[in-house]
Structure 1
Amino acid sequence: MIDFHYWPTPNGHKVTLMLEEAGLEYRVLPVNIGAGDQFKPDFLAISPNNKMPAIVDHAPADGGAPLSVFESGAILLYLAEKTGRFLPADLRGRTAALEWLFWQMGGLGPMSGQMGHFAVYAPEKIPYAIDRYRNEVRRLHGVLDTRLAQHAYLAGEEYGIADMASYPWLEVYGDLKPDYAAFPHLRRWHDAIAARPATQRAYALKEQVNPNAGKPLSDEERRHLFGQK
């Protein structure tokens, strides 16, 4: 059994995708980031950076005590190694998978998050910031499209954790979606992942856990999400 500390954000969806694809038994423990659950001592004990998701594996491979893992990329890698799935075993395939996993963690996720913050959530609309991050995210979409013109998936011809990491960051902020007309390979890849039964099961958790997703933020939610020092 895996305890999955979750809220339906792009980083949360990454792990749900993996858990559903791998058929692992897990229990969802909601972490309401708008209510400040991420700052509670019990959660900080397993996720010291006060970010979700995090997991606690009660049956780690070494047979020892329950093992906690934080950071979505680290969780994907941990679960891939635990199950022996969705990460190529050969040197070149594994290297490619890790390249694109780290590319998402260092680029697509943070840049998309900044785009969403300044274009959607910021109380003051700063044109320079909005343009800066929109342009950078579009550049990253172009990088994805170029890669996917050569391969079915990011690490090659098989679906894997690099794809699970990037997919949730494409359609996050309403109309701020990729220019699929300009990036047809990205559209093909996105649609193929969206059609997977595990993807549909993973995203069904969103409505169960947070039926208010997408609604305007309250002052309290803004304070917890953007006001911490």
Structure 2
Amino acid sequence: MFCYALLLPTIACGVGKFLFGKITTDPLKRALLGGAATILAKGVCVVYYKYNQISRSRNSIILNFDDFDEEPCCRQVMEPKKFFYFPDSEFFKDGNELCCLRSVLCAKRELLVDNLPCAKSRQFGCEHAGCSEVIVNESDYQAHCLSNHAFKCMSCKRAYPSAHLLDLHIAENHNPMQIAPSFRCFVPSCLEVFSLQSDRRDHYITVHNFPPDFRYDTRNG
């Protein structure tokens, strides 16, 4: 290293004179340019040397797979086979235990449901004031409320199963502006109007297939 430091000015001057003699005639500038070129060349050489070392070390650890035999070491070929188990085999032990547990739980649940009091046998009265109807289940109670308490006339307290029938009742019995009697069809989409109830009855029986004993005016609720 010491020898290289002593020779560096001489090398720099020679390189500068050789490379940059035509650019400048100043010896100092040629020496500086030559030194810079020398240092740059040395750096490039060092980088190239390190790169070669790294490449060699990397190639040394890569296995050459071409040297190995491509045929597998084990020549035994496994083929799928069918296995048959008896119902009491250990293979089904876990599944049988799970199925037994599920069967027990289902049986207990069915037993509890069977011991519960049946809803149909429980009777209760209608909650609307003035109604003494006795209902045995929820579905009958809903049907009773729909047909007797859903649409009620405020004048005579009669109840109807639909708003259309309630409107017909009010128009036919409680409308002071009505002069001539008029009876509209019970079907909301039908616009037929009659002057007699008997004509309307014949109409809804023959045209709309109503039962002959149909009555839309229910009892007082």
TM-score range, shorter chain: under 0.3
TM-score by length of 2: 0.20
Bigger radius of gyration = 2
TM-score w.r.t. structure 1 length? Answer: 0.19
Q: Identify the structure with bigger relative contact order (alpha carbons < 8 Å, sequence gap 6+).
A: 1
